[in-house]
C-alpha cells in the first residue's frame, strides 16, 4: 500500500509529489503532466502572472521558472509576459527534475477501503493508498451559463476547450465574459481571422496597470508591496497569509474567495483587444436558440431593452465553479459525508489541507474557500505543498510508524472510515 497517491499532475500535484518524495514517503503521481496548460489553452496565450510568482515548488527552492528559462538562454523578467507554451514546458522539466515519475493514467474512482483508499484507473488494476491528495485542477469545474444549455453541443463551447482558434477564421464568434480568458480569447480570435464580439454583464472592463518595478523607494514599497497576486496590501495578505485567511469565519472566507481579485485583463493585452474586438457591456444573456447552423443570443441591455446577436458560435469564457458535487471520480458516499464550507459545496479543510475524512486531502481550486484566492493561482502551490505534506505525515503518524521510524502509533488516531474534527 502506498503512503500517498496524488491525483493530478499540474502545478499543485507536481509540487505536492516533489515535497512528499523528499520527505521519504512512498508516493505515486497519477495524471497527464500539465494537462490543463498543454491541452486546454489556445496557441498564442501568455502567462498573466509574473514569472517570479509562477514557480512550482520543490523543498530545496530549486527548479524555478527562471532556472528553466536560463537553460533555454532566455530571461524570465518582471513585467515581461511569457508564452503559455514556455510555462507548460517548464512544468514538464520540473516533473523530470524534482518529482517522482508521473504515471499517465486516468483516475476513474477514489473509494474508501479499510484504513485507506482504493484508486481505480482506466488503464490498469486498482491501487491502494493510505492517503490521497486530490489535485485535479480546474477542468472538472468548467462553468457554462445556464442559458446555453438548450443549444445543440456544436453551437457553443468553453474557452478551455480550444487549442487552435484558427478553426474559426472567417466566422462570427460571440465570447461571453470579462476576465483575462475572455479578453485574450477574443483578441486571439481576431488575430486568427475570426470576427469576435465580446458580451459581458459588467458595465466596464477592468485592466491591470503596468507592474511597478521590483526596486522602488522604501515608502512606495511600503504603501504598495509586491506580492504573488499583485501589488497592494490586500493582495499581499491573500498571497502571503493563506493560513490567516483560513482562521476567518467560513462566510467571510467564502465571500473573499468569490469576490477578491475579480475579472481583469492584463495590461499588455489591452491594445490588441481594443483595436479589433467590438464589445457589448452591461448586457445579460437571457436566452440562446439555434437558428439553423447559427445561434441567436437574446440579450438585455443596461436600459432593459432587448438586443439580438446572431453568431456562428458562442465561446463561454465564464470560468470554473468549484463544487464537490462535480467531482465525479470521488465516491458518492464519501462526498456526501464530507463537511463543507458554507453554501459553496467545497470541502472544509484543516491546517494541513485534510478534509473531514481521515487521509483525504485536497489542493487547488476547491481549497480557495478555505485558504483564500491564492489557491486559484500557481503561486499557491508552494504553500499548499509544504502544508499538505506535513498534514500527510501527521496522518500517517497517527496510523502507525512512519517510514524509517521506530516509534509506535500515536494516540490521536481517528477510527477508520469515520469523519473527524478538523485540526486547527
Degrees (nearest 5) of the Cα angle 199, 377, 211?
75
Q: Which residues of 217-239 are buried (b: 16+ CB within 10 A; e: fewer)?
A: eeeeeeebbbbbbbbeeebbbbb
| Residue 116 in this model has a pLDDT that exceeds 70 | yes
175 strand-pairing partners: 198, 315
Domain 146-207+264-316 belongs to what topology? FAD/NAD(P)-binding domain (3.50.50)
Q: Is 375 exposed, middle or buried (CB count within 10 Å of its CB: 0-12, 13-18, 19+)?
A: buried
* Residue 142, strand partner residues: 320
Cα-only R_g, the chain: 22
Domain boundaries, the chain: 2-141+320-399, 146-207+264-316
User: CA–CA separation, 110 vs 408, rounded Å?
Assistant: 28
d(CA 422, CA 348): 8
Joined grid coordinates for residue 200:
459581458
Helices (H), 343-401: 368-371, 380-399
pLDDT surpassing 80 at residue 211 = yes
Please give the average per-residue pLDDT across 280-294, as a whole number.
Answer: 96
Q: Comparing C-alpha atoms, which of 239, 231, 240 is closest to residue 212?
A: 231
Taking the alpha carbons of 70, 46, 263, 212 in that order, is the dihedral positive or negative? Answer: positive
In this prediction, residues 227-232 reach a mean pLDDT of 85
pLDDT digits (tens, 9 = 90+) for 46-89: 999 999 999 999 999 999 999 999 999 999 999 899 999 999 99
* CATH superfamily, domain at 2-141+320-399: FAD/NAD(P)-binding domain (3.50.50.60)
* Range 152-178 average pLDDT: 96
Angstrom CA distances, 34 to 31, 37, 41, stand at 9, 5, 11
Q: How confident is the model at residue 232 (pLDDT cuts 50, 70, 90)?
A: confident
Instruction: Return the pLDDT at 343.
Output: 76
3-state SS assignment for residue 248: coil
379 contact partners, CB below 8 Å, separation of at least 6: 49, 53, 54, 228, 229, 239
pLDDT of residue 400 exceeding 90: no
Kindly indicate the confidence band of residue 402, based on its pLDDT and cuts at 50, 70 and 90: low
CB 342 within 8 A of CB 320: no
How big is the chain, counted in residues? 424
Q: Residue 228's pLDDT is what?
A: 84
Confidence of residue 216 (pLDDT cuts 50, 70, 90): confident
What is the pLDDT averaged over residues 337-366? Answer: 94
Residue 409, pLDDT above cutoff 50: no
Question: Distance between CA atoms of 11 and 31, rounded to whole angstroms?
Answer: 12
Which DSSP string do the residues of 117-171 spell out, in sequence order?
EEEEESSSS-EEEEEEEE---SGGGB---GGGGGS-GGGEEEGGG-S-GGGGTTS
142 vs 85: CA distance, rounded Å:
22
The count of C-alpha atoms lying within 13 angstroms of the C-alpha of 143, restricted to the half-sphere facing its C-beta, is 12
The two domains 2-141+320-399 and 146-207+264-316 share their CATH topology (first three levels equal): yes
Amino acid at each position: 500500500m502506498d503512503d500517498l497517491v496524488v491525483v493530478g499532475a499540474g502545478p499543485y500535484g507536481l509540487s505536492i509529489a516533489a515535497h512528499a518524495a523528499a520527505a521519504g514517503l512512498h508516493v505515486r503521481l497519477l495524471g497527464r503532466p500539465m494537462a490543463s496548460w498543454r491541452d486546454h489553452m489556445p496557441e498564442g496565450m501568455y502567462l498573466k502572472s509574473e514569472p517570479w510568482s509562477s514557480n512550482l515548488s520543490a523543498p530545496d527552492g530549486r527548479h524555478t521558472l527562471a532556472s528553466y528559462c536560463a537553460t533555454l538562454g532566455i530571461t524570465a523578467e518582471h513585467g515581461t509576459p511569457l508564452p503559455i507554451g514556455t510555462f507548460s514546458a517548464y512544468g514538464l522539466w520540473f516533473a523530470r527534475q524534482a518529482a517522482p515519475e508521473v504515471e499517465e493514467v486516468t483516475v476513474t474512482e477514489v473509494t474508501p477501503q479499510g484504513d485507506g483508499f482504493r484508486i481505480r484507473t482506466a488503464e490498469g488494476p486498482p491501487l491502494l493508498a493510505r492517503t490521497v491528495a486530490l489535485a485535479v485542477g480546474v477542468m472538472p469545474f468548467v462553468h457554462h451559463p445556464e442559458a446555453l444549455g438548450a443549444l445543440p453541443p456544436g453551437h457553443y463551447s468553453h474557452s478551455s476547450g480550444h487549442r487552435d482558434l484558427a478553426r474559426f477564421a472567417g466566422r462570427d464568434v460571440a465570447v461571453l465574459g470579462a476576465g483575462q480568458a475572455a479578453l485574450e480569447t477574443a483578441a486571439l480570435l481576431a488575430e486568427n481571422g475570426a470576427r469576435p464580439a465580446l458580451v459581458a454583464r459588467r458595465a466596464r472592463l477592468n485592466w491591470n496597470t503596468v507592474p511597478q518595478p521590483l526596486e522602488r523607494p522604501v515608502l512606495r514599497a511600503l504603501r504598495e508591496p509586491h506580492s504573488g497576486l499583485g501589488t497592494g496590501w490586500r493582495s499581499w495578505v491573500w498571497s502571503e497569509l493563506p493560513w490567516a485567511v483560513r482562521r476567518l469565519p467560513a462566510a467571510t472566507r467564502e465571500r473573499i474567495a468569490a469576490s477578491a481579485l475579480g475579472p481583469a485583463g492584463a495590461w499588455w493585452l489591452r491594445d490588441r483587444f481594443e483595436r479589433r474586438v467590438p464589445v457589448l457591456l452591461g448586457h445579460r444573456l437571457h436566452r440562446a436558440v439555434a437558428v439553423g447552423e447559427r445561434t441567436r443570443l437574446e440579450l438585455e441591455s443596461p436600459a432593459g431593452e432587448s438586443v439580438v446577436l446572431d453568431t456562428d458560435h458562442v465561446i463561454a469564457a465564464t470560468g470554473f465553479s468549484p463544487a464537490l458535487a462535480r467531482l465525479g471520480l470521488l465516491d458518492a458516499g464519501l462526498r456526501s459525508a464530507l463537511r463543507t464550507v458554507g453554501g459553496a459545496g467545497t470541502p472544509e479543510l484543516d491546517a494541513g489541507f485534510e478534509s473531514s475524512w481521515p487521509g483525504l486531502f485536497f489542493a487547488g481550486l476547491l481549497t480557495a474557500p478555505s485558504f483564500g484566492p491564492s489557491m486559484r493561482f500557481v503561486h499557491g502551490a508552494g504553500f499548499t505543498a509544504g502544508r499538505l505534506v506535513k498534514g500527510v505525515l501527521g496522518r500517517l503518524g497517527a496510523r502507525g510508524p512512519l517510514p524509517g521510524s521506530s516509534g509506535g502509533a500515536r494516540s490521536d488516531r481517528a477510527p477508520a472510515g469515520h469523519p473527524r474534527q478538523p485540526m486547527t
